[in-house]
Structures are given as structure tokens and as C-alpha cells.
């Protein structure tokens, strides 16, 4: 792969929308959450090891995320055991993607990029950013989460301000037009870097 850009940002910051803007600019996209869905789905690589470790977690030939949440809530040792199964499989999925796209500029949508140390495998990083008020409005507008749910998620993540300080690029997602213009600028910079390499 010619260039690997790690894309991150807290929930409701506009990461998925921004990722698609990079695709419009000609990048190939690897999405960490989508990779986990593939691994948990019918025929996915995580099914057998997960069913051996947590027999009650399989439902209709796939890993049930609802049952996983219940197990994690009831057993403090569950999450590290799940991560020990899933993280190596996700890393293999990402490596397969890199191998399959040797001439591409790849964007890696990874919510916990800095928390997991995934940034060290990237050529550069970008963090999406918007005001806390806009973030809260966006998340609550989805109708799938309460303010308490949002607070719980944010408590487990590195503050977005810190992610922005660590990132090579910061993309403000206050409007689609503004975000798209910044993505274009980032891509110009990456293409210049590749020409000068």
C-alpha cells in the first residue's frame, strides 16, 4: 500500500461521513467496526473461538452483540478474553486488506486508533472534530442512545481534544462543505508527500 492514513474521532464527530469523502477522493477504505461485523457474522472467523469461550453467545449462526454486552456486564474477565480472540483476527483482516491494495492510498477508520496503539502502523493520522454540543445533538438524534450511554462511551475513550493533538491532520466537521474541503486539502498533501518520497 502506497500510504496508510488512520482516521479516528469520538462518537458523533462525523468519522463515517468523512471516511466516505476520502473514498470519493479515490482512497480505499478499511473500517474496523465493519471488520468485526464480518468476523461475527455467518461463517465469520470469530464464530468458532467465541463459541468455545462463550457457548451462549451464538444466535442464528452469528455472534449476538446483545448477549456479548450481557456477558461483559456480568463478568469482569469477559472483555479481555473477547479482545484476546477478536484483536488478532481484526489485525489479520486489516493486513489482508493492505496486501490486496498494493498501489492504493488506504484510509483506516479505527475508533480507538490511539488507545490501541494502531497509529504506529500508519503513515499519518487524521482526527475529526466538532463542538461537544453538536456531538451530543448528533448522537441523541440517532434515537439509539441516552445521554448516560454517551457519557459511558466517552469515559472509556481518550478525550477527542487529545486525539486531535496527536493527529497529523484535524478535520472540522461542522458542515459537509467545510469537511469536504479539508479532506481535499489532506489528500493534496498526501499526494505531494508521495511524489516527493
Q: What is the CATH number of the domain that holds 2?
A: 3.40.50.300
Q: Is residue 69 part of a domain?
A: yes
Domain membership of residue 79 as a residue range: 33-103
Q: Characterise 12 by phi-psi region: left (phi > 0), alpha (psi -120 to 50), beta (else).
A: left
- 99 & 110 share domain: no
Q: For 148-197, what is each residue's pLDDT tens digit? A: 889 888 888 899 999 999 999 999 999 999 999 999 999 999 999 999 98
- 55 & 151 share domain: no
- 110 & 22 share domain: yes
Q: What's the structural domain count of the chain?
A: 2
Q: For 158-169, what is each residue's pLDDT tens digit? A: 999 999 999 999
- 137 & 165 share domain: yes
Confirm if 126 and 168 have CB atoms less than 8 A apart. Answer: yes
Q: For 8-67, what is each residue's pLDDT tens digit? A: 999 999 999 999 999 999 999 999 999 999 999 999 999 999 999 999 999 999 999 989
The answer to whether the pTM exceeds 0.85 is yes
Confirm if 10 and 157 have CB atoms less than 8 A apart. Answer: yes
Amino acid at each position: 500500500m502506497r500510504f496508510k492514513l488512520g482516521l479516528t474521532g469520538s462518537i458523533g464527530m462525523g468519522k463515517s461521513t468523512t471516511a466516505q469523502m476520502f473514498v470519493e477522493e479515490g482512497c480505499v477504505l478499511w473500517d474496523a467496526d465493519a471488520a468485526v461485523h464480518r468476523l461475527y457474522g455467518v461463517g465469520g472467523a470469530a464464530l468458532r473461538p467465541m463459541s468455545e469461550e462463550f457457548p451462549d453467545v451464538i444466535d442464528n449462526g452469528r455472534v449476538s452483540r446483545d448477549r456479548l454486552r450481557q456477558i461483559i456486564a456480568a463478568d469482569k474477565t469477559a472483555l479481555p478474553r473477547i479482545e484476546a480472540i477478536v484483536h488478532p483476527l481484526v489485525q489479520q483482516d486489516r493486513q489482508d486488506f493492505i496486501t490486496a491494495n498494493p498501489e492504493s492510498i488506504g484510509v483506516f477508520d479505527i475508533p480507538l486508533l490511539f488507545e490501541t496503539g494502531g497509529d504506529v502502523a500508519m503513515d499519518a493520522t487524521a482526527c475529526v472534530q466538532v463542538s461537544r454540543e453538536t456531538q451530543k445533538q448528533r448522537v441523541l438524534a440517532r434515537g439509539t442512545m441516552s445521554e448516560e450511554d454517551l457519557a459511558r462511551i466517552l469515559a472509556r475513550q481518550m478525550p477527542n481534544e487529545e486525539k486531535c493533538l496527536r493527529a497529523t491532520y484535524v478535520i472540522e466537521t461542522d458542515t459537509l462543505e467545510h469537511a469536504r474541503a479539508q479532506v481535499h486539502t489532506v489528500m493534496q498533501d498526501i499526494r505531494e508527500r508521495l511524489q516527493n518520497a
